[in-house]
Structure 1
Amino acid sequence: MFKRTLIATAVIAAACASTTTSANTSTSAFFDDSTVSGGVYNMTRIRDRQPNGSEHFAENIHHSTTMVGLNFSSGLVGGVFGIDLGAHGTWDMWNSGSSQWSEFSLVDDKNKIKDGFTINRANVKLDFDVFKARAGYIQPSGPGVLGVNWSFMPGTYRGAEGVYSANGLTIAYMWADEYKNPWNYDMEKMTRNDAVTDKDDNVITKATEIDYVQSLGASYAFGNGYSVLGAWGEGEDFVDLYKFKLAKDGEGFNVSYHFYGMNDRDDKEDSLNNIYDGLTYQHVLMSKFNKDNWTFRAEATYTIAKGKQGNFVVRPTGYNGGFGKSNGAYEVWWDSRSDFNHNEEKAVFLGATYDFDHGWSAGASFAYGWDGKSNDTKVTTEKLKEIAYNLDVGYTFQSGQLKGASVKAHYTIYDLETDVNSWSTAFPNAFRDERDLKISFAMPFSF
């Protein structure tokens, strides 16, 4: 459960702040400058996958989940102190019994769907103009290597962050010791896997706690559309993370180069934590162009991920620390099912969207990955090849009670061209063919 100490700290700090000025002024600043925002959301999803050994599709995720989110951000008492609070709740409207749980429904500690509410933000904040700090249950806000998992709501770290920003330069440091993704109720210690022996000398895998993760990053905007970002971080005594970004923002276009890197700290050949052989990394090129009602995207990645894990993931706990147990500041989002991130894999993404005005938009995109190297030649020596085709249709309400609300449909046809089973040791992050339909509704509000 959320530990009460940090909540108490938030309350005490806000109370102490009130002593810096008169009671009336404090109350006025705290409430009069506050904002309340949130939204009502729904995700309905029909995802089918080919089971191993079959050419037919079977139900994988079938559900419709409604979510409500609410955020409170106070004004600054004495121009310095404030608090932020946020929570969300889910109601599973229907979920087929043979489906796996989605990443939108709240689940209990047995990964069983359990409707209810959870806190996703509770922190004190300090604002000294060029320097801002937050402590409690937070999401990263400055340049760095830490990120969160998302549904409609973000995941949450327990920690603190300080951000300095002036004259185009931004420097941020963040430290955290617990995390929860948006589909879990409770904060948890972050972990890695270790091999230990039981009382009968059998080797077993045990989750070992990581005491902290941390990130230090800086970015600089040159004032002519160019910007640069560099960051380092770590999962304590486990992995180091690196990020570099060079971007150019112009009138009607954005172009950027990204480098993401990871390196584990364990060189023992038989260790579970020796997940990579040397530095693993990914090069990324991203571009977006706007012309009249059209938006075009062209992106490409190249991955090197030698070692046991066989694919690249930007997290301070990696896959080794468990699914959804942390996340990194990764900007690539193709919404094409696969991560296209196996060792030596090259991948491209091309997309176009047209805005019809009056709220309607439609688009199509294509993702293709090839040349991924098998991580287990006993399974296959064939190179990985995977393709995804996407169609998008969206509408934003222009008037009436639903003005500003939007409905979007996204359909993906994903084909794994390489003849291997899902999650094989040859390609640990690849799965068989899928057909995936997502229909989402979002109605944000603020007052």
Structure 2
Amino acid sequence: MRDISLRPLFAAILATTPTLMISAPVQAEGFVDDSHLTGGIYYSQRYRDKRDMTVGSPDYGHYVEDLHHATFNANLDFVSGYAGGFIGLDVAGFAAVNLATGNAAHPNEISLSSANQRWDEDWSGDKGGFNLYKAALKLKHDDYWMRAGYIQPSGQTLLAVHWGFVPGAYQGAEMGGSWDFGQYGALSSSYFWSDKYKAPWYTEMYEFRGADNTTKIDYVHALGMRYDFKNKLVLETSWAQAADFMDQYMTKLSYSFPVAGNDLRLSYQFYGARDQVGDNSIAAYGSVNDEYEGLAWLQGITLGYTLDTLDFRLEAQTVKAEGNQGFFLQRITPAYASSNGRLDIWWDAASDFDANGETSVFAGVTYDLKNYELPGWAVGAGYVYGWGGKPCTTCTVNDELADQSQRIDESAWTFNIAHVVQTGRLKGTLFNLHYINYDNHGSNPNYSGGYNNMFQDEIDIKFNVIAPFSIF
């Protein structure tokens, strides 16, 4: 499939919008009067060290620097109203400045990579600069809508974007609609199509590729729906596809009901993936695009309960991902930063706990300190333990099948302190400190032994400041 250029589209937008405003000022009032220009100022400081378990290394058994950086970001986000109640335009971009950079060469994912796009990545570090992450024509009519250009998925599909302080972007189009059936519920549905993507730390769009970082994937697309039964029961489902490469599936059922005067929130979630490549033969990881043997899946259950100033979470997931990759990945294209996908189970605990055969349980609590005359302050802690992680079943290590007798457990503690300013000029500003202590219970070096998404012990300290503002 040939590449699709969006330049004629944006030229038409820029040419048409002034005409609408001049020739039909009454109809164009909505475009101006309902417009908003907002933004944010952001600061990120991070210290992440990993234990070196490479045999023969002078640092064997010790923690070494992985990410040490301090970064400043600022963004502006223009959202127009609709001229004639029908057509509008959204544009957004951000600037990044590196204040301090450690020795690690890979992108810190908050600034901009020294490479402009994924397939030119040479892992040489970061740079400052400007990045346009949204430029979209939008249309609406009654209960139907459409957006095209540089966009982020906003409907009900499996496709999603990476985030720094701002989102990544797809080059493509999305359309959807909603239908309200009164007491019987409400349905919303959307379709998304794209031929290029960029993570927020890259400034240029790039094509989709397979696990070998070479094979081009012409496009990705997805269809999804959400049905709200209006009785605290919500059903969501989606199908997504990377052309001639991968199919993915998602179903999520959410429900809440009162227990002791407060709602108990629960969900069941299923994420599946089946590749369209290969015959599940033995191969070195990354040498072929045959990712899974049959249907791979991640299933999870979540429970949440709020009691006065305490919010409790208890969640669990289990994974089946036999084949060459050896772990379940929500991205429909597996290469780093090549796309992203939806996964509503996230513990901010370093690991994804997604190895083949692995089951993991997370427990966490957040405590709002408002009763101690500390409005806007909250502290939290969590613990996750995963067990039974298996290596990839058809990949090779040093030209031999990965040792199938291995089983690795992993665990992590997390602590969080957050404050949202309640009054004054800084009202709404968030200060957040997050600490992770991750423990890999095995001795394999990072991403080795057939565990292609499992790294060694890690200590990660993240301090972020987010100061939103509104201009009009």
Common fold: TM-score over 0.5: yes
Which residue number corresponds to residue 316 of structure 1?
332
Separation in 2, partners of 1:98, 1:310 = 27
Q: Which residue of 2 aligns with 1:305?
A: 321
Q: 1:292 to 1:315 in 2, by over 3 A?
A: same
Q: Which runs of 4+ in 1 moved over 4 A?
A: 15-19, 376-380
1:201-240 alpha-carbon deviations (Å, 9 max, x no partner): xxxxx61221110000111000101010111010010000
Q: How does 1:213-292 map to 2 (within 5 A)?
A: 213-250=220-257, 252-268=263-279, 269=281, 272-292=288-308
- What amino acid sits opposite 1:56 in the alignment? H
Which residue does the alignment assign to 2:7? Answer: 4
Q: Cα gap change, 1:253/1:43 in structure 2, threshold over 3 Å: closer, same or farther? A: farther
- Aligned equivalents of 1:128 and 1:254: distance in 2? 35
Determine the structure 1 residue equivalent to 2:376.
359
The residue number in structure 2 matching 1:404 is: 428
Show the counterpart of 2:160.
Answer: 147
2:114 corresponds to 1:90 = no
Say whether residues 1:45 and 2:46 are aligned partners.
Answer: yes
Q: 2:191 — aligned with what?
A: 173
Q: Which amino acid aligns with 1:390?
A: T
Deviation at 1:116, TM superposition (A): 0.7
**Cα distance in 2 between the residues matched to 1:117 and 1:176:** 23
**What is the rounded CA distance, in whole Å, between the counterparts of 1:396 and 1:212 in structure 2?**
41
**SS of equivalent residue, structure 1 residue 272:** coil
Q: Which runs of 5+ in 1 are unaligned?
A: 195-205
2:150 to 137, 150, 161: 137
Q: Are the equivalent residues in 2 in contact too, given 1:360–1:394 (CA < 8 A)? A: yes
Identity rate of aligned residues, in percent? Answer: 36
Q: Determine whether 1:108 maps to 2:132.
A: no
| Number of the residue aligned with 2:203 | 185
Which ranges in structure 2 are unaligned for 5 or more consecutive residues? Answer: 55-59, 116-121, 181-185
Q: Secondary structure at the match of 1:132?
A: strand
How far has the Cα of 1:374 moved from its partner? 2.4
Partner of 1:127: 140
Other-structure match for 1:24? 25
| CA RMSD across the alignment | 1.9
CA–CA separation in structure 2 for the residues paired with 1:364 and 1:283: 24
CA distance in 1, matches of 2:6, 2:98: 27
**Structure 1 CA distance for aligned equivalents of residues 356 and 89 of structure 2:** 44
Q: What is the letter of the counterpart of residue 46 of structure 1?
A: Y
Q: Please report the TM-score for the alignment, with normalisation by the length of structure 2.
A: 0.88
CA positional deviation for 1:426: 2.1
Q: Is the 8 A contact 1:59 1:99 kept in 2?
A: no
Kindly provide the amino acid, as one letter, of the partner of residue 274 in structure 2.
N
Determine if contact 1:10/1:123 at 8 Å carries over to the other structure: no
The change in CA–CA distance for 1:87 and 1:176 in structure 2 (over 3 A counts) is: same
CA–CA separation in structure 1 for the residues paired with 2:300 and 2:13: 40
**What residue is the counterpart of 1:422 in the other structure?**
446
Distance 1:6 1:93, change over 3 A: farther
Distance in 2 separating the partners of 1:99 and 1:162: 39
For the 8 Å contact 1:62–1:99, the answer to whether it is kept is no
Q: Which SS does the other structure have where 1:207 is aligned?
A: coil
